[in-house]
Amino acid sequence: MAEENSLRCFRTAVNSGTPMEVYFDDLTINHKRSPVVAGSDFYPFGMPMENRSITRESYRYGYQGQYSAMDSVTKWNAFELRMYDPSIGRWLSPDPYGIGDSPYIGMANNPVSLSDPDGGCPWCDLLDFLNSDEVFGVTHWNTPITLNEVVVTATQMPSNTESLFASELRQLNGFKNAAISGITSSLTDLNKSLNNTAYFANAVNHTLTGGAIELQMPQNNIQQQMQTAGLVAGGLGLRGMGPGSMTIPRSVAVTPSGPIAITQPIVVPVTTVLDVHGTVSAKSPVNRVNSAIRKGQAPKTIERADTGKILGEKDHVHFTDDNALNIDGTWKHGGRILTNAEKTFLSAHGWRLP
């Protein structure tokens, strides 16, 4: 915890009513995350994994975070529109919108890539994501965009790389006018790479100058295109974006024992601990200069800084050659041309230069 005296001192300095610089001596601030109080790993369809939960405090939400709350008796998730049984990956009532291959399948049978916030739309998060600025850094998908930097990393490149890539984009992703040119890096096993989620997700983050993809995607057709593009089946489409890129932070991991675990966002309280140590003070320029001198941070020619002892006397620095310069840039006694080091130091410590 922060030392109360330090914080109080800091507050006093800041709230003194008069704008002033506040300086800290030997201050260290440790910004710590507060301890994780709740969290869990889940099987793909949302059943909590045994012995992989953190339950220091009760937390009502589980699978898919705040979208659902687990009933403590039935272990079903209460989504906004319907109940869900994570042990079988099925909804307990039909899809209210009547979409999908079956009205009961959970997360369109693709829980690794999809989420269903309310129980009626497993693509909603993806659509929100596609309409967000996170996708290739563009704002509106109903206007043509050009990706000037695209890379697909591989070791050998088949001759039909560009057309194949474009075809995949058109067919699987619904990008009607996808065209690719200028890919110059070597590619191998492109089909495999295009079906490799992580691979493609990484690829779009790399750089290949000269590559260009034109994408056009009318916003009002996105959902239709997503469905017809075989998103559920995977491929470049949905999974091409990569679960790591989804707006819902979620990572996929393979456990040593085999099952795929979906790690939900760990519940971390928003409060963090600010750990402050050190002496807090509003230092005068004189004290700052003297402190720097003691630490060997001042030019050797600056001997000391003094406060004025008589009313009207200004704070001043003494040089080793017995000259003394007032803080307002006038000479207390003596006078000479300052060296660059002296100028830099004194300016940084609140002195005006003569």
Partner 1 sequence: METTLTKNKFMNALLKEWLNRVATKKSWNSFDDIHIDQLDKTIKKSEWIKKGFVFFEEAINCGKKVAPDLLIVLAFSLKGFSKYKGINFKGMEMMIKELEDSPPSIYAFPKDFKFFKLTIQHSLIIQKLEGTPNDITAFYHEFINDGEDQYRRSILFIKNNDLKKTGIK
Binding map of partner 1 across residues 288-307, x = CB under 8 A, - = no contact: --x-------------x-xx
332 counts as binding partner 1 under rule CB under 8 A: yes
- Work out the number of other CB atoms within 10 angstroms of the CB of residue 79: 20
18 counts as binding partner 1 under rule CB under 8 A: yes
Stretch that binds partner 1, among 37-45, 258-266, 267-275, 324-332 (CB under 8 A): 324-332
- CA dist 37 → 53, 55, 70, 266 (Å): 10, 6, 17, 9
Binding map of partner 1 across residues 222-261, x = CB under 8 A, - = no contact: ----------------------------------------
Distance CA 5, CA 175 (A): 61
Residue selected from 326, 338, 345, 346 as contacting partner 1 according to rule CB under 8 A: 326
The single residue listed with the structure tokens 């060997």 is 296
For partner 1, the closer CB: 131 or 287: 287
**For residues 262-291, which are near partner 1 according to CB under 8 A?**
281-282, 284, 290
Q: Residue 294 CB, nearest distance to partner 1 (Å)?
A: 9
170 counts as binding partner 1 under rule CB under 8 A: no
80 counts as binding partner 1 under rule CB under 8 A: no
Q: Is 4 left (phi over 0), alpha (psi -120 to 50) or beta?
A: alpha
Number of residues that bind partner 1 (CB under 8 A): 26
322 counts as binding partner 1 under rule CB under 8 A: yes
Distance CA 201, CA 194 (A): 10
Give every CB contact of residue 80 below 8 A, 6+ residues apart in sequence.
Answer: 67, 117, 118, 119, 120
Residue selected from 16, 34, 224, 251 as contacting partner 1 according to rule CB under 8 A: 16
Beta bridge mates, 213:
147, 180
Q: Residue 316 CB, nearest distance to partner 1 (Å)?
A: 8
For partner 1, the closer CB: 97 or 331: 331
Q: Residue 293 CB, nearest distance to partner 1 (Å)?
A: 9
Residue selected from 137, 258, 296, 312 as contacting partner 1 according to rule CB under 8 A: 312
8 counts as binding partner 1 under rule CB under 8 A: no
Stretch that binds partner 1, among 15-23, 96-104, 118-126, 206-214 (CB under 8 A): 15-23
H-helix segments, the chain = 4-14, 124-130, 161-173, 190-194, 197-203, 222-228, 238-241, 285-294, 340-348
For the chain, strand residue ranges (E) read 23-32, 38-42, 48-55, 61-62, 65-70, 77-78, 83-85, 90-91, 145-149, 179-181, 209-215, 251-254, 260-263, 273-281, 302-306, 316-319, 324-326, 331-333
Stretch that binds partner 1, among 18-26, 71-79, 128-136, 339-347 (CB under 8 A): 18-26
- What Rg do the C-alpha atoms of the chain give, in angstroms? 32
Calculated CA dihedral for residues 301, 302, 303, 304, nearest 10 degrees: 180
- Residues in contact with partner 1 by the rule CB under 8 A: 13, 16, 18-20, 281-282, 284, 290, 304, 306-314, 318, 322, 326, 330-333
